[in-house]
Amino acid sequence: MYSEAELTEAKRQIASTVHKLKETVKTLEAKERPERYKAQITLAKRRIAAFELSLALIEEKLDK
């Protein structure tokens, strides 16, 4: 289906996006009134969870 190189590159890109999203969450939570950014924080956290699941599945596929 996908080559090892494609999976490895996808993993790298997703990991980079997760890192950026985590930094975004930190930034939004550190703002003076973080409650104003609740929707953005929730969305970012849900995306992080989805990407982490994707990373786990890619890892599983690469280990086979």
pLDDT value of position 64: 86
Hunting for tokens 């939570």 — which residue is that? 29
- Give the pLDDT confidence of 36-62 residue by residue, as tens digits: 999 999 999 999 999 999 999 999 999
- Count up the domains in the chain and report the number: 1
**Structural domain containing residue 43:** 4-63
Q: Rounded distance, CA 34 to CA 18, Å?
A: 20
13 has a pLDDT exceeding 90: yes
